[in-house]
A and B are shown apart, each in its own frame.
Chain A
Amino acid sequence: EVYLVESGGGLVQPGGSLRVSCAASGFRFSDLWMNWVRQAPGRGLEWVANIKKDGSERYYVDSVKGRFTISRDNAKNSLFLQMNSLRAEDTAVYYCTAGHYGDFRGQGTLVTVSS
């Protein structure tokens, strides 16, 4: 069974930085694209970024380009999202997901950007 456990969220001031992580198990991590998806309170789902199996390609939603960096460590079955220059509108629960589609397996990690 696929397990995804997100961590690293918290309260950060506008302009600050945060790194969230996702620990994966139950599947061959290096075989799948990995994604970050976020959901602001009371709002819909927003795809944020994804990374190819070997890390050679990365893509971002326009609103985070130049501020967020997605990365992965296939040896440790881990996915990361480095978030810099955070804004209030980045406040959301951040989920990692595996592959092109599939159930959301983790509970997410809440990132709150506020002074």
Chain B
Amino acid sequence: DIQMTQSPSSLSASVGDRVTMTCRASQGISYYLAWYQQKPGTLPKLLVYDASSLESGVPSRFSGSGSGTDFTLTISSLQPEDIATYYCQKYDSAPWTFGQGTKVEIK
């Protein structure tokens, strides 16, 4: 099975910083990747699908890129409300594995 590895596992940044996190697949998955945001005590929310398509209503400071094995989620200017854990998930073929998550905190 294809493994999904996110890095870093956690990061701390200041408000206004550009934040980048990565998701690496152990084999190519084309563009079949989604990113989710889960704030403490809430349900996961879809941010990006098909690697780079922004879900409707998601702030434009979020962007996704990549294809094949290497993917990136970028927050162009970190805001206090972006404190959350971010997960990637592949859906090219079963199993539709999630990454282990990247926890974002404010410095």
**A-B CB pair tally, cutoff 8 Å:** 52
Overall SS of chain B's interface: loop
Whether B100 is near chain A, meaning CB under 8 Å from some CB there, is yes
Kindly specify which of A40-48, A75-83, A84-92 makes contact with the partner chain.
A40-48
Q: Across the two chains, which residue of chain B brings its CB closest to A104?
A: B43
Report how far A62 CA is from B94 CA in the complex, Å: 11
Q: What range describes how many residues of A lie at the interface? A: 20 to 34
Interface residues of A in 37-78 (CB under 8 A from B): 37, 44-47, 50, 59-62
Also in contact, A59 and B43, with CB within 8 A (given A44-B101, A47-B89, A101-B89) = no
* Distance from A81 Cβ to chain B, minimum over Cβ atoms (Å): 15
On B, residues with C-beta under 8 Å from A are 1, 32, 34, 36, 38, 43-46, 49, 85, 87, 89, 91, 94-101
Which of A's residues lie within 8 Å of B, judged by CB?
A: 35, 37, 44-47, 50, 59-62, 95, 100-105, 107-108
